[in-house]
Amino acid sequence: MPIIQENSVKKFLPLILATSIFMQMLDSTILNTSLPSIAKDLMESPLNMQNAIISYVLTLALFMPVSGFLADKFGTRKIFIASLIIFSLGSILCAASQNLNHLVISRVIQGIGGSLMTPVGRLALIKTFKKKELVQAMNYAIIPALIGPILGPLVGGYMVDYLSWHWIFLINIPFGLLGIILSLKYMPDYRSTEITFDLKGFLIFASASLLLSISLELFGTAKNTTPVLLIFTLGFLMIYYYYVHAKKTANPIFPLNLFKVRTFRVGILGNLATRLGISAIPLLLPLMIQIAYGQTAVISGWIVAPMALTAMFGKSFVIKILDKFGYRQTLMINTFIIGFLIACLGIPGIDTSIYWFIPIIAVLGFFNSIQFTAMNTIAIADLRDSHTSSGNSLLAVNQQLAVGFGIAIGLITLKLFENNAAVTHGEIHLAFRYTFFLVGFLTIVTGFVFRRLHSTDGNNMKSQA
């Protein structure tokens, strides 16, 4: 491309990617403080609103593997602009939802757009910038990923309290339009002549994820557990079917030899296990503050916001900690600390000031940051160059599934305690407290997953953490 145009593309492409990341991260967190208000308007229980979050997260996980194939076939510009249009349309439909089913369907549409936006934008960035320029460009583009979780709960809280919950979705429209306008002029249109996509493997894997997610959701509401167990079993059978398929396929969507790498196995399992507890907290805490303590959405947003601020602060300490203690010791001890802090959220009584949650949630954000960086880097530490792309893709999908499963498990646990009058005596605050205790204990137990690491594992990644 001409030098002037190339300079313009390099100037605006990180901004375009930043816009998409900001929308996606904002949308992933803005709903947490808004659920009670939405539930009231849609005449639903706040504890039955998890589908509005899980449907979005699950859709991200299901469709992320397709993004690279679509970009290679139809071009990065077309797919990226299409993703912005789909995401914006989904946002409008969310704002216009009249009941929970409408909202869930609209969130799925949003999720389809979101699953394409960031991966395709990142792909264009990688192909545009030279390696020595890429880190700086990526750092610039990824700043919104750190700001989004801070603004999400606060923006959601203020909009719900002073406008209406509909605005938490309509806020995406100006960002979407800005992204479309910039993309039409500055988004490069990369394609690939060699296109391979394991469609059958994708459908099998997506079916397994969907069945397991549905079984978790039904478990919290179904009176007869037999159909739920059947769906759950069918989900695991689909995983086995994918294993059989991948053994016979030349280029499966997720190669089985990825799992021959011990650090990848531990990284994937650790990501899934520890995120189950961690992922439930940004939803459970705002719910408790609003439902049990009767506080506003704004207050709950301010209490949760320090979690993201200290997570940003923690990034600067990760390399020093890993250099000193190594991945095995860091991940085990860090997981125990996170589990203990989650359990501490259940200590304050109903008469305790809610501001006691701020130091706990702030420290939790710091250790979460260390956990995520260490888990993600150890998972790809020993992968060959030819497997890095598929391994990184599976890691991203695994993280989204873990978030969805974690939210489902957290709310199922809460419902079980709420419905057990013998334990909670009808006090919703006790149900929340016991949920934090149990989720914290289970998170502590998951720390033993990292015992499978060797003390020298990840030494080649320390300087890249």
CA distance 31 to 295: 16
Q: Same structural domain for residues 360 and 454?
A: yes
Paired tokens of 319: 């390399």
CB of 143 closer than 8 Å to CB of 18 = yes
Q: Which amino acid is present at 326?
A: G
Domain extent for 91? 1-195
Q: Are 103 and 130 found together in one domain?
A: yes
pLDDT tens-digit map of 337-347: 999 999 999 88
Kindly report, residue by residue over 6-64, the tens digit of the pLDDT. Answer: 566 666 777 777 777 777 777 777 777 777 788 888 888 776 777 787 788 888 888 88
pLDDT tens, residue by residue, 81-140:
999 999 999 999 988 888 888 888 898 899 899 888 877 877 777 777 765 665 566 656
Are 461 and 367 within one domain?
yes
Q: Are residues 190 and 202 in the same domain?
A: no
- Contact predicate 424/296, CB 8 Å: no
- 218 and 318 inside one domain: no
Model confidence over 186-212: pLDDT tens digits? Answer: 888 877 776 677 888 888 888 888 888
Considering 176, 195, 214, which residue would you say is the last residue of a domain? 195
Asked if residues 434 and 243 have their Cβ atoms less than 8 Å apart, the reply is no
On the question of pLDDT at 463 being above 60, the answer is: no
Tell me the CB-side half-sphere exposure of residue 366, using CA atoms within 13 A: 13
Does residue 120 contact residue 83 with C-beta atoms inside 8 Å? yes
CA dihedral in degrees (448, 454, 457, 459; nearest 10)?
120
Query: Is residue 246 domain-shared with residue 372, that is, in the same domain?
Result: no
Q: Using CA atoms, how far apart are residues 281 and 367, in angstroms rounded to an integer?
A: 14
3-state secondary structure of 33: coil
Instruction: Please name the residue ranges forming H helices in 30-130.
Output: 35-41, 50-74, 76-95, 100-128
Beta strands of 230-379 (E only): which ranges?
Answer: none
Same domain as 168, residue 313? no
Number of domains in the chain: 3
Question: DSSP assignment, residue 163?
Answer: S
Radius of gyration of the chain (CA): 22
CA distances from 212 to 231, 398, 441 (A): 7, 13, 23
Q: Are residues 123 and 204 in the same domain?
A: no
Structure tokens at 175: 């960002």
Considering the chain, what is the average pLDDT of its residues? Answer: 81
- Which of 195, 210, 242 terminates a domain? The answer is 195
The Cα–Cα gap between 43 and 63 comes to: 31
Structural element, H or E, at residue 433: helix 428-446
Measured CA to CA, the distance from residue 210 to residue 226 in angstroms comes to 18
Same domain, 215 and 70: no
14 and 138 together in one domain: yes
CATH of the domain at 10: 1.20.1250.20
pLDDT of res. 90? 92
Neighbours of 40 (CB within 10 A): 12
**Residues ≥6 apart with Cβ < 8 Å to 303:** 285, 286, 289, 354, 355, 357, 358, 361
CA distances from 188 to 283, 406, 439 (A): 38, 37, 45
* pTM, entire model: 0.78
Reported as a single tens digit per residue, the pLDDT across 161-194 is: 778 888 888 888 988 898 888 888 888 887 777 6
Do 51 and 3 fall within a single domain? yes
Tell whether the model's pLDDT for residue 224 goes beyond 80: no
Q: Which of 202, 197, 256 is CA-nearest to residue 62?
A: 202
Domain boundary among 211, 233, 252: 252
pLDDT digits (tens, 9 = 90+) for 391-431: 767 777 887 788 878 888 888 888 888 887 777 777 888 88
The C-alpha atoms of residue 238 and residue 224 are separated, in whole angstroms, by: 23
Terminal C-alpha separation, the chain: 34
In this structure, the answer to whether residues 187 and 284 fall within a common structural domain is no
Coil, strand or helix at 270: helix
Q: What is the CB-side half-sphere exposure of residue 305 using CA atoms within 13 A?
A: 19
The answer to whether 69 and 191 have CB atoms below 8 angstroms apart is: no
**Measured distance CA(430)–CA(288) in Å, rounded:** 10
